[in-house]
């Protein structure tokens, strides 16, 4: 098996270290912001930079290139050029939230998708974790990462709004989560356009107006943005893909 060192002992770094150690990789330890980085690439097959995006290029530049060592980052938005001056470069971005090392390690070996580019050792790492690989070119990284943020971060932020509005009428978030789960299941089975229900789908503008009137001023901009996206989706043509077998559809589709 290969050896790996990780710069950045945060949530992504600790998740990856635990996942690869469990798969037999030799882990050579973490380096943090107070450590000397010049020789970080020495003595390992793979050096992973698991820092915030804004720090990746500076960290890579601080490491002296080592023959035979691949240097990789975990950023979704950055390309291979952020890893200059290293000749063997790879980008490996897991499409899954990593909230802490324990949960993250389990998710990394659960068959999730990784966006990869560059040197082959990055792909070997993903293959060892049992992941699904997709190629994302440097020119497409920002748009790809925007989609990833919408899929996770923005959904969480929307549920934060659900939590606040629900609390205003004496309900908790748990009352609404089955609705969210059913809607996501519908999207998986039917596609987003065919899964959309609710007033925007029906063109029920009076209901949307009542919603806005009922919300405090601080919540209206978020609601209007969501309603605009729903209206745009409702105007898209129906899917031309064949319907999935009924057995794969949720038993209780979301209807709002």
Strands 46-49 and 89-94: unpaired
In this prediction, residue 255 carries a pLDDT of: 40
Do 10 and 130 fall within a single domain? yes
11 beta partners: none
- φ and ψ of 180, to 5 deg: -65, -45
The answer to whether residues 118 and 80 touch, using CB atoms and an 8 Å cutoff, is yes
- 106 within domain boundaries: yes
| Cβ atoms within 10 Å, residue 53 | 14
Residues 124 and 221 grouped into a single domain: no
Assess whether 164 and 46 both reside in one domain. Answer: no
Task: Give the rounded percent of residues in the chain with a pLDDT score beyond 90.
Answer: 91
In a domain, 71, yes or no: yes
140: three-class secondary structure by DSSP: helix
Q: How far apart are CA 7 and CA 32, in angstroms?
A: 6
| CB proximity list for 216: less than 8 A, separation 6 or greater | 168
pLDDT at 12 over 80: yes
User: What is the distance, to the nearest Å, from the Cα of residue 239 to the centroid of all Cα atoms in its chain?
Assistant: 26
Q: Which residue range(s) make up the domain with 114? A: 3-139
Q: What is the mean pLDDT of the chain?
A: 93
Domain count, the chain: 2
Q: pTM for the full model?
A: 0.84
**256 inside domain:** no
Domain membership of residue 122 (yes or no) is yes
Distance CA 35, CA 181 (A): 44
Per-residue pLDDT at 236: 85
Say yes or no to pLDDT of 246 above 70: no
Q: Does the residue 253 lie in any domain?
A: no
Residue where a domain terminates, one of 92, 116, 139: 139
CATH code for position 12: 3.40.50.720
Six-digit token string for 54: 């804004």
Spatial distance between the Cα atoms of 184 and 180, rounded to a whole number of angstroms: 6
Beta strand residue intervals within 2-143, DSSP E: 3-7, 26-31, 46-49, 70-73, 89-94, 113-118, 132-135
Question: Are residues 149 and 216 located together in one domain of the fold?
Answer: yes
Do 25 and 59 have their domain in common? yes
Last residue of a domain, one of 139, 154, 189: 139
Q: Which of 139, 174, 195 is where one domain is finished?
A: 139
Band (239; pLDDT cuts 50, 70, 90):
low
Instruction: Judge if 75 and 47 occupy the same domain.
Output: yes
The answer to whether 74 and 49 are in contact (CB under 8 A) is: yes
pLDDT at 238: 61
Mean pLDDT of 156-162: 97
> Exposure of 6 by Cβ count < 10 A (0-12 exposed, 13-18 middle, 19+ buried)?
buried
Here the CATH number for the domain that contains residue 219 is: 1.10.1040.20
- pLDDT, one tens digit per residue, over 172-226 is 999 999 999 999 999 999 999 999 999 999 999 999 999 999 999 999 999 999 9
Confidence of residue 250 (pLDDT cuts 50, 70, 90): very low
Cα–chain-centroid distance for residue 60? 23
Please tell me whether residues 9 and 130 are part of one structural domain.
Answer: yes
**Pairing mode, strands 26-31 and 70-73:** unpaired
What are 31-71's pLDDT values in tens digits? 998 999 999 999 999 999 999 999 999 999 999 999 999 99
Per-residue pLDDT for 21 more than 80?
yes
Total H helices, total E strands in the chain: 11, 7
| pLDDT score of 56 | 98
184 & 238 share domain: yes
Peptide bond into 85 cis (omega under 30): yes
Of the pLDDT bands very low, low, confident and very high (cuts 50, 70, 90), residue 145 is very high
Please give the distance of CA 244 from its chain centroid, rounded to a whole number: 26
Tell me what pLDDT residue 1 has: 82
State whether 235 and 117 are in the same domain: no
**How do residues 104-124 score in pLDDT, each as one tens digit?**
999 999 999 999 999 999 999
Residues 36 and 91 in one domain: yes
Examine the domain organization and report whether 23 and 79 are in the same domain. Answer: yes
Handedness of CA 212, 214, 216, 219 (dihedral sign): negative
Answer whether residue 241 is part of any domain.
Answer: yes
């Amino acid at each position: 098996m290969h050896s790996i060192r990780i710069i950045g002992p945060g949530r992504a770094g600790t998740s990856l270290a635990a996942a690869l150690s469990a798969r037999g990789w030799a882990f050579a330890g973490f380096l943090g912001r107070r450590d000397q980085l010049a020789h970080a690439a020495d003595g390992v097959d793979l050096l992973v930079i698991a820092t915030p995006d804004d720090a990746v290029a500076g960290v890579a530049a601080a490491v002296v290139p080592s023959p035979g060592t691949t240097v990789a980052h975990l950023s979704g938005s950055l390309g291979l050029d952020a890893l200059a001056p290293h000749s063997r470069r790879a980008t490996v971005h897991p499409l899954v939230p990593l909230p802490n090392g324990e949960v993250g390690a389990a998710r990394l070996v659960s068959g999730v998708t990784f966006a990869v580019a560059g040197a082959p050792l990055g792909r070997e790492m993903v293959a060892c974790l049992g992941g699904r690989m997709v190629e994302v070119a440097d020119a497409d990284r920002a748009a790809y990462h925007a989609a990833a943020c919408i899929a996770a971060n923005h959904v969480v932020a929307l549920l934060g709004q659900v939590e606040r509005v629900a609390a205003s009428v004496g309900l908790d978030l748990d009352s609404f989560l089955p609705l969210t789960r059913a809607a996501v299941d519908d999207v998986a089975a039917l596609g987003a356009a065919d899964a959309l229900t609710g007033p925007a789908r029906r063109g029920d503008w009076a209901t949307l107006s009542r919603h806005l009137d009922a919300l405090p001023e601080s919540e209206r901009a978020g609601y209007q943005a969501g309603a605009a996206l729903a209206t745009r989706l409702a105007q898209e043509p129906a899917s031309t893909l064949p319907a999935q077998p009924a057995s794969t559809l949720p038993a209780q589709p979301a209807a709002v």
